[in-house]
Structure 1
């Protein structure tokens, strides 16, 4: 794609044009020297349609390890020997304390995350409901949940307890998904997302780039998210963890990552696009460029199986980009 076509497409999106699949796929062919131009238009699109606020969200890893699923990127899978710590914070005092710490670090939203396929027949589900209610009572945080697969009845129970947004990733395109996981299907993810939406919750649904997928897989993945009308799109960048099936995969370059985020903003003018796990190790000194390439959300603090960076640094990064760390 020639740089003049980037300008034409960017200006048309600013005027309300909805990008088509072929147009998005064409953007993947731009040269590295045109990525700053793509980023500049992504930034203008973000400012026009979502403003300058950046949604800062923390994670509470409420239950870690011993996951029965074989997701090739995951350090918590029983199929991988990663020495990942095993813990269960599903105690009201412990989980409330973790949420209060996230609030003190500046988070306006917290996501309660548990390992495992999902909540069907899970004995901890009632504890999770009680923990969410306790967090809402003792903090000012908005609470999201990321508990794996759900039934419609469980989704309604979460919504009734006050959960406004359910987090459940597609991970990648439907075509590439069997290369990532074989113990549960892509369609099971879609069914859970639809159950959460039917229960009245917003959707926080994204995935991981850099697992060996093609650019077409990334565009297919983005348009699947578009069809589901998700509110928030967390994008992780593969952090190859020793002991996992993807430990030897070379992660994408910083320019590749920035290009991906900018293209996603062209596809999603008015949604939250949220850099998540792996940004620190893969972008290094170029993290701030994401804030000028269409990103308007961040996962702050630590992740599920590896540490993030000081939240003060992330808040400063957002402000240095002329943006406002806030709750959208």
Structure 2
């Protein structure tokens, strides 16, 4: 059997090599997709075994966001008709978290609209996290924007162990999708979260008009940050947003991106997020070609796949969400 360049690279990564900025990565874009996916499968098997991590989210505060991210339905500058509401009651969030825990999810996150959660709403979030930490066993994640170090300390004290904060794209392309804050703002927030002991979940969106070089740059930047959970969202263009007319990415582009991210971040959880329904079998093939995690459930722009359906899918594929081997700490609780 012919040994390809991808086979050799896969062996080297398993032996300890890590792809770095400045390396020639053109072959990742030109290699046959099947070869790239097979290499990604081998890397996934080595670093994550048969474990698939499932996280769920609830939209804890919706709409009226003052930022101008072109992709986002919750930005006040867009007219999407999204439901608007203030921070949800603690009892409602707790009920949702318990249902997700009982269904088998590994982790539960509250996400909120806005540049940063602050004031009375942040106090409500802390109270809610404390209640979940006291009453439930599911891992807790938060996604509340550009927080301060003191806020991160309060989140940790309340029992939150993971923080989600995407870099979204490359540094070069970021100003094309947002000007109300900077790429560096996001990097600084991630570094503070890591310094305060959080496992950071950070990825981005593909299909916004960026180049393949932008996608490679994003993957390298996440590797340089030591990110352990990387959600890959394929843009689901929402009417009324600044990217409403962007065409959907072909499945082959999404699958190649997933495989590339596995090569550049071999030990991370590469997580399916928005756009799963654009993939064959709602992402089933991706779970054996680089993706070791997924957002699940019926929230936001994810696939709408229920946890029960995803658990059944894992059994069909011979996989499990009971972590025994994965080296990424964001895949545990």
TM-score under structure 1 normalisation? 0.93
1:91 aligns with 89
Tell me the number of residue pairs that the alignment of Structure 1 and Structure 2 aligns: 323
Question: 2:282, 2:309 → 1: CA distance?
Answer: 13
**Does the CA contact (< 8 Å) of 2:276 and 2:303 recur in 1?**
no
**Does the CA contact (< 8 Å) of 1:52 and 1:322 recur in 2?**
yes
2:329 aligns with none
Question: 2:211, 2:3 → 1: CA distance?
Answer: 22
Question: 2:201, 2:321 → 1: CA distance?
Answer: 19
SS at match of 1:56: strand
Question: 2:22, 2:317 → 1: CA distance?
Answer: 31
- Please give the per-residue CA displacement for 1:231-288, whole angstroms capped at 9, x wherever unaligned: 21111110001111111101221011111000111111111111011212x2153511
Listed as ranges, the matches of 1:1-328 within 5 Å are 4-21=4-21, 23=23, 25-31=25-31, 34-119=32-117, 121-280=118-277, 282-285=278-281, 287-304=283-300, 308-327=304-323, 328=332
- Please give the per-residue CA displacement for 1:2-54, whole angstroms capped at 9, x wherever unaligned: 982212212221222112345562234325xx211211111111111122111
Q: Structure 1 307/72 Cα, relative in aligned 2: closer, same or farther at 3 Å?
A: same
SS at match of 1:110: strand
**Does the CA contact (< 8 Å) of 1:27 and 1:263 recur in 2?**
no
Question: 1:324, 1:66 → 2: CA distance?
Answer: 39
Question: 1:45, 1:300 → 2: CA distance?
Answer: 23
Which 5+ residue runs of structure 2 have no aligned equivalent? 324-331
Question: 1:279, 1:299 → 2: CA distance?
Answer: 9
TM-score under structure 2 normalisation? 0.92
**Does the CA contact (< 8 Å) of 1:90 and 1:131 recur in 2?**
no
**Does the CA contact (< 8 Å) of 1:211 and 1:251 recur in 2?**
no
Question: 2:177, 2:38 → 1: CA distance?
Answer: 33
Which 5+ residue runs of structure 1 have no aligned equivalent? none
**Does the CA contact (< 8 Å) of 1:64 and 1:304 recur in 2?**
no
Runs of 4 or more off by more than 4 Å in structure 1?
Answer: none
SS at match of 1:60: strand
Question: 1:102, 1:168 → 2: CA distance?
Answer: 22
**1:95, distance to aligned residue in structure 2 (A):** 1.1
